[in-house]
Amino acid sequence: MIAFVFPGQGAQFAGMGKDLAENFSVAREVFEEANDALGFDLTSLCFNGPEEDLKLTTNTQPAILTVSVAALRVLQQETGLQPAYAAGHSLGEFSALVCAGTLTFADAVRIVRQRGAFMQEAVPVGVGSMAAMMGLENDALEGICAEAAQGEVVSPANFNSPGQIVIAGHATAVDRAIELAKAAGAKRALPLPVSAPFHCSLMKSASDRLAEILAEIHFAPMQLPVVSNVEALPNADAARVMQLLVQQVCAPVRWAESVTNMSELGVERFVEIGPGKVLSGLIKRIAKGTIIQNVDDVASLKKL
C-alpha cells in the first residue's frame, strides 16, 4: 500500500520544479495555470528566486504547492502509481487535497496565497516566534510550555517525529520555554527563522479569515482519503474538509501520529512529492522499515 505525502513551508529553494518543467509539458501546464490563477509570474520566482522573495509566506505557500502538484502530475503520467492515502505537512495538506480531487489546483493556489497573507498579518513581526525542541517527550514539553506561558501563548505547533517537536507563541514565552527545555535536558532547543508563530492560538484571526474564503469554495467528492493534520486520521468526506482546514491554522500538526496511523493501516511505501526530502527524513524516524522515496526532479523520478 502506498501513501503520497507533500511537504510544507521550509522545503522551498530557488530552482525548484525547473527540471520537471523543462522535461514534461504536464509540469509546464501546472506552472502556467498558477501564473494565470495568481496574476503574476510565480514560475520565475520558483525557478530563479530571489530567495528573500521566495521566503515570504505569501509566496512560499503557492510556490511549494505548485511545484508539488507539478511533480504529482508528472508522477501520475509517467508511472500510473495509485496511492491508498494522501497527507501533507501543514501547507502540504492542500497539495494532498488536490491529489484527492476535492480541490481544483487553481482554487488551491489562490487559497494558499491568501492563507499565507492571513497568517503573516495575524501577528506583527517580532511579536511571535517558533523554536525546535529535540530530545524531550511530548508530555514533558507540554508541561514546559504551560510553565513558560505566564499569561502569554506558547504551545506545541508541530509533532514532527519522536523527540522532535516545534513550539510556537509569543516570542518572550518561547524564549522562556527554550531555557526551561535546556534545563530539563533537551538535546537541542533553538529558535527557528520563521516570520510568524504558526499553528498556535495567535493565528485565530487567520483561521477566521480563511473560513470566509473556504465558504465560497466547492469541494468535490474525494477520490481517496486524506490524513488530516488536525486529527491524524483519514478523512474521505468532502463535507468535512473546510472545517479541518480552518482548525488546522491554530491546531498543532500531528505529523508523527499521521505517519504511524498510515503505517498501521498497511502503508508500506511513502512517496514524498514536491521540493526537498524533509518529510522523508521524518518518516525514517517514525515508521522504520518502510520504503521511502521522493520525486522533485527528473533524477528522483527515474530512481523511483
Return d(Cα 116, Cα 149) in angstroms, integer. 26
Please compute the mean of the pLDDT values over residues 11-15 and round it to a whole number: 93
Please compute the mean of the pLDDT values over residues 120-124 and round it to a whole number: 92
The residue annotated as part of the active site, out of 95, 161, 199, 228, is 199
pLDDT at 126: 86
What are the grid coordinates assigned to 272, written together? 514524498
- For helices 92-99 and 238-248, what crossing angle results, to 10°? 170
What are the grid coordinates assigned to 281, written together? 527524513
Rg (CA), the chain: 18
User: Among residues of the chain, what percentage have pLDDT more than 90?
Assistant: 93
What are the grid coordinates assigned to 104, written together? 481544483
CA nearest neighbour of 197 among 140, 276, 142, 250:
250
Question: Is the domain defined by 2-122+202-303 classed in CATH 3.40.366.10?
Answer: yes
pLDDT at 194: 81
Buried b (16+ CB within 10 A) or exposed e, 46-78: bbebeeeebbebbbbbbbbbbbbbbbbbbbbee
pLDDT at 129: 94
Q: pLDDT tens digits, residue range 17-47?
A: 999 999 999 999 999 999 999 999 999 999 9
pLDDT level of residue 125 (50, 70, 90 thresholds): confident
Predicted confidence (pLDDT) at residue 182 exceeds the cutoff of 90: yes
- 90 given a catalytic annotation: yes
Tell me how crowded residue 184 is: count the other CB atoms within 10 A of its CB. 16
pLDDT at 219: 97
The mean pLDDT of the chain is: 96
pLDDT level of residue 56 (50, 70, 90 thresholds): confident
- 89 given a catalytic annotation: no
Please compute the mean of the pLDDT values over residues 203-231 and round it to a whole number: 97
- Lowest mean pLDDT across 50-54, 78-82, 83-87, 96-100: 50-54
Query: In terms of residues, how long is the chain?
Result: 304
pLDDT at 85: 98
pLDDT at 68: 98
pLDDT level of residue 107 (50, 70, 90 thresholds): very high
Name the CATH superfamily for 128-194.
Malonyl-CoA ACP transacylase, ACP-binding (3.30.70.250)
What are the grid coordinates assigned to 161, written together? 517525529
Predicted confidence (pLDDT) at residue 55 exceeds the cutoff of 90: no
pLDDT at 108: 98
pLDDT level of residue 12 (50, 70, 90 thresholds): very high
pLDDT level of residue 193 (50, 70, 90 thresholds): confident
pLDDT level of residue 176 (50, 70, 90 thresholds): very high
Please compute the mean of the pLDDT values over residues 197-203 and round it to a whole number: 96
Please compute the mean of the pLDDT values over residues 91-101 and round it to a whole number: 98
Return d(Cα 55, Cα 42) in angstroms, integer. 13
pLDDT level of residue 66 (50, 70, 90 thresholds): very high
pLDDT at 81: 95
Tell me how crowded residue 204 is: count the other CB atoms within 10 A of its CB. 12
Q: pLDDT tens digits, residue range 218-255?
A: 999 999 999 999 999 999 999 999 999 999 999 999 99
pTM of the full structure = 0.95
The 8 Å CB, 24+ separation contacts for 151-154 are 153/197, 153/200, 153/201, 153/202, 154/200
Domain ranges of the chain: 2-122+202-303, 128-194
**Are the C-beta atoms of residues 130 and 171 closer than 8 Å to each other?**
no
